[in-house]
Amino acid sequence: MINFSNILPKSASAIVLPLEEKTIHNRKLPSQLPRELRTIITQLKFTPKSGKLYPLQYGKNRFLICGLGNIDKLSRPRLCEIIKSAFSSDFVRDYSKIAILPPNQSNDFIKRIIEAWLIGTYSWDKYKSERDSQKKSLTILAKENQILQDCIAVCNGVNLARDLVNENADVKTSQFLEKKIRLVIRGKKDVKIEVLNKTQLKKKGLNLHLAVNQGSANEPKLIIIRYQGAEPKSPYTALVGKGITFDTGGLNLKLSGNIETMKMDMGGAAAVMGTLQNILALKPKCNIIFAVGLAENVIDAKAYKPGDVITGYAGKSVEIANTDAEGRLVLADAISYIVKNDNPKRIIDIATLTGACIIALGHDYSGLVSTDNVLANHLLQSADKTDDRLWRLPSYPELKESVQSNIADIRNLGYPKGAGGMLTAAEFLRQFTGKVTKWAHLDIAGTAYVEGKGRRYYNHGATGAGVRLLTHYFLNYA
Ligand code: BES
Ligand code: ZN
Ligand code: ZN
């Protein structure tokens, strides 16, 4: 819960006070603070170092000075991380009411506060018997406005994606995700939904998608939501997410150490769903096709096998060189289906696609591969404006050779083995984009999930990678 107010709360609260060095030096503490307290702080004659926390008890209230140092030297994620550390510090932990007095009233700063609160303090505790029973509230000493309300909406979309990724694989089946999508679009006028279940996928020939799900007790689903925010004749942008609800690797089984986090392999689909919720809240004037390809890559007697050759919706035969390269198969069918039936102007896909992306870029940057410089630059600009960082890697004609097969039209594993794995996976997808020349691929394998205690301002678990980036993209460039 977030409220806005122009006065400090009267009841016992923890009040976070982000302070720049220069504020102390110039003795310009905010006038909302009691005069006596201002004098005390000024007399301390200290320098509020960046990232340091200084607690102070004054009457019933606990003040927590949160050092910013020189604010001009702080990156956006670092600023968010510092404010988050104040919100989750021991000094304020026992208070259910927290207030924050921003050092300036710029929307930019207050947005960082909102993100630090909604995204930074999010944690997945559904299955903990001891969880924070009372929900905490934050009061920001600032004037409410539309930009800030929109920021809150976007953060809620991020957290929707995180809830889905964090959920148990056996809970978030395709049936479960379909229900969630129907909840998100319920009562909205500008959307139509199409669901392809096993029978329809079979009838229409989405055999690559079906193959990946062959060993599963759950149904495969391709769910498409068409949002019409502009004239029906205006071009559509398609956003397609990889939704593998669990990736065992199939018969090319993953090893211990690699398999444990694979409930996150629907992070792309979750990002699409979070973005969908945001778009329906913010209603940009553009047309968007949201699509999620849902399947489970597990093993039983019926599971698809290495060496199989399967022809998907596009009519291209695919050699299954490795059953663990399943994401590209599901995406290939989803992309071909949308290309054929909707002929969108642009396609963006988002997927936890390759371990190679993590090796190339680590955990702070998602990978981008694109055939169109304008689209790529717009996405990079959106990345720059949000904390969904993005780094572009190349796509070029000679990559075709890396996915050639001896027995089929294309192979789902790149060649030479281990070389440029993120690029060859992208090249595989590109070959299913058909006549759509404006295509971008986002690999969020390294950014969608945090193992261990936390990273930057994210706690353990899902990050909602891609949601802020894509929402910003559609609001500004589509
Ligand atoms: N879902 C994985 C990619 C992944 C790895 C996501 C680690 C998040 C964290 C994907 O389906 C996969 O297994 N890719 C293989 C491809 C290989 C067999 C060509 C990989 O990256 O090892
Ligand atoms: Zn896999
Ligand atoms: Zn996968």
Report how far residue 335's alpha carbon sits from residue 240's, in angstroms, rounded to the nearest whole number: 7
Candidate from 81-95, 211-225, 356-370, 401-415 with smallest mean pLDDT: 81-95
Q: Which of 156, 290, 299, 239 is nearest to 440 (CA)?
A: 239
Instruction: Return the exposure string of 385-416: e unless at least 16 CB atoms fall within 10 Å of the residue's CB, then b.
Output: ebbbbbebbebeeebeebbebeebbbbbbbee
Which ligand sits closest to the CA of 264? 1
The preferred substitution site among 252, 324, 450 for testing ligand 1, maximizing ligand atoms within 8 Å of CB, is 324
CA of 97 to the centre of ligand 3 (A): 42
CA of 261 to the centre of ligand 2 (A): 12
Question: For residue 133, is pLDDT > 70?
Answer: no
pLDDT average, residue stretch 161-174 = 98
pLDDT average, residue stretch 384-411 = 97
- Strand, helix or coil at 415? coil
- Identify the pLDDT of residue 335: 98
- Going by CA atoms, what residue is nearest to atom 17 of ligand 1? 325
Question: Is residue 265 within 6 Å of ligand 1 at its C-beta?
Answer: yes
Atom of ligand 1 nearest to the CA of 425: 19
**Where does the pLDDT of residue 24 fall: very low under 50, low under 70, confident under 90, or very high at 90 and above?**
confident
Strands 221-228 and 390-393: unpaired
- Identify the pLDDT of residue 11: 84
CA of 360 to the centre of ligand 1 (A): 13
- Identify the pLDDT of residue 135: 80
Question: Is residue 268 within 6 Å of ligand 1 at its C-beta?
Answer: no
Question: Is residue 354 within 6 Å of ligand 1 at its C-beta?
Answer: yes
The preferred substitution site among 213, 354, 429, 442 for testing ligand 1, maximizing ligand atoms within 8 Å of CB, is 354
Atom of ligand 1 nearest to the CA of 322: 18
What is the percent of the chain with per-residue pLDDT over 70, rounded to a whole number? 100
Which ligand sits closest to the CA of 355? 1
pLDDT, averaged across the chain: 96
pLDDT average, residue stretch 164-188 = 98
Question: Is residue 355 within 6 Å of ligand 1 at its C-beta?
Answer: yes
Question: For residue 150, is pLDDT > 80?
Answer: yes
Q: Which residues are catalytic?
A: 254, 328
**Where does the pLDDT of residue 27 fall: very low under 50, low under 70, confident under 90, or very high at 90 and above?**
confident
Which ligand sits closest to the CA of 353? 1
Dig out the tokens for 377 from the structure: 């630059």
pLDDT average, residue stretch 438-453 = 98
What is the percent of the chain with per-residue pLDDT over 90, rounded to a whole number? 93
